[in-house]
Homo-oligomer: A and B are copies of this chain.
């Protein structure tokens, strides 16, 4: 079965979705809707030739042939739109972040009531590398117990004046969470994933730089899971980077490209162990594992998995639950930042 997808809006990020659909067999982009006449036509010509163009979201939602919808619109208008899509009984793949945990609850309840799948578009979770990493993290002999997850996700775009002035990520009315929503979302998700979606006991976040409207542009955040920890930096003003490190009690697993891979269909990671040299004059680094896996394209895998769920008629509740937890953490981080970095309890 080939799932018929619709796209609501022609945001730049939707190009990636089209590229992914073009790589798989169980999905097709049947229609694209834009509120601006002509924009959908241009988008289709460039990204998914043959799709139908609709001049409004409502027309696309009224098309009974569309089974699943991808929503790449700004965060401030996502909630309303997701609720409309669910009401139309279409499955929902939505861009991150979301407006608030309360809004996520509304959305996932609506999707549940409608019997449709809800998933956020966090690609890396669908990369086969995650399974391989998980096998290391649970290898007590080599890795020990996971103690700390550190990650960095930053882009230097806001150092460009034109970007800083115009990009939606800098505007409270469109993307109120700034770099926390756009980048920190992934840092949080990776950390939750590593600790098997146990909610952190408490979190802390400090906005080091922000716009006049308090949209964060450079921040540091921390998470506690009892006596285990996570930390990250995310920024619109630091060099582009998406690295992560899992520190066990015995070894360290690190990767350079945890959000989007450096190669299209392969992904790598390293497991290392530092050792004491003679008279502690040196700390030699030993590589225990240096993996490069043939993984396929992670985003294509996401759409394929989602389409497979649609085709199966079964809803997987773990995906909306993960979205909800991620947003709960982000909301607590915003609260912490508003209180000068105070630790905010989540349990």
Q: What are 18 A-to-B residue pairs whose CB atoms are below 8 Å?
A: A15-B279, A144-B159, A144-B239, A147-B238, A147-B239, A148-B233, A148-B235, A150-B233, A159-B249, A208-B227, A209-B227, A239-B251, A243-B245, A257-B274, A260-B280, A261-B283, A262-B285, A263-B282
Residue from B19, B229, B251, B257 within 8 A of A218 (CB atoms): B229
Q: Cα distance A241–B275 when bound, in Å?
A: 9
Number of A interface residues, CB 8 Å? 67
Whole-angstrom distance between the Cβ of A122 and the nearest chain B Cβ: 15
Which 8 pairs across A and B sit closest by C-beta, in order of nearness? Answer: A240-B274, A147-B238, A260-B283, A238-B247, A262-B285, A209-B227, A262-B284, A15-B279
Residue from B15, B156, B159, B283 within 8 A of A240 (CB atoms): B283
Residue from B206, B256, B262, B264 within 8 A of A222 (CB atoms): B206
Q: Cα distance A218–B148 when bound, in Å?
A: 10
A277 at the interface (CB under 8 A from B): yes
Chain B residues, CB < 8 A from A238: 147-148, 247-249
Contact B224 A222 (CB under 8 A): no
Contact B284 A263 (CB under 8 A): yes
0/1 interface trace, chain A 199-213, chain B, CB 8 Å (1 if under): 000001010110000
Whole-angstrom distance between the Cβ of A148 and the nearest chain B Cβ: 6
A237 at the interface (CB under 8 A from B): yes
Q: Which of A138-166 contact B (CB under 8 A)?
A: 144, 147-148, 150, 152, 154, 156, 159
Contact B341 A343 (CB under 8 A): yes
Q: Which of A214-248 contact B (CB under 8 A)?
A: 218, 220, 222, 224, 227-229, 231, 233, 235, 237-243, 245, 247-248
A73 at the interface (CB under 8 A from B): no
Contact A249 B156 (CB under 8 A): yes
Residue from B204, B239, B283 within 8 A of A242 (CB atoms): B283
A273 at the interface (CB under 8 A from B): yes
A16 at the interface (CB under 8 A from B): yes
